[in-house]
Amino acid sequence: MNGAERMVSALLLIGGFVAVGLMLVGLVALQVRAARTAHPLDVRHVVEHREAGRSVDVFVSMPQIAHALARWPPQPVAIITAGIVVLLATPAAGLLAAMAAFARAGDRPYVIICAALLVMLVSGFFLRVGG
Cβ contact 28:22 at 8 Å = no
What is the pLDDT at residue 129? 56
What is the pLDDT at residue 18? 96
Q: For residue range 77-91, list pLDDT tens digits in order.
A: 889 999 999 998 999
* Angle subtended at Cα 53 by Cα 48 and Cα 54, rounded to the nearest 5 degrees: 75
1 pLDDT higher than 60: no
Cβ contact 33:45 at 8 Å = no
E strands of the chain, at which residues?
none
**Where are the chain's structural domains?**
3-127
Region 103-113: mean pLDDT is 91
What's phi and psi for 71, nearest 5 deg? Answer: -75, 155
Q: How many CB atoms lie within 10 A of CB 97?
A: 18
State what percent of residues in the chain have pLDDT above 70: 79
Region 15-34: mean pLDDT is 91
What is the pLDDT at residue 39? 60
User: pTM score > 0.85 for this model?
Assistant: no
Half-sphere exposure of 103 (CA within 13 A, CB side): 10
State what percent of residues in the chain have pLDDT above 90: 34
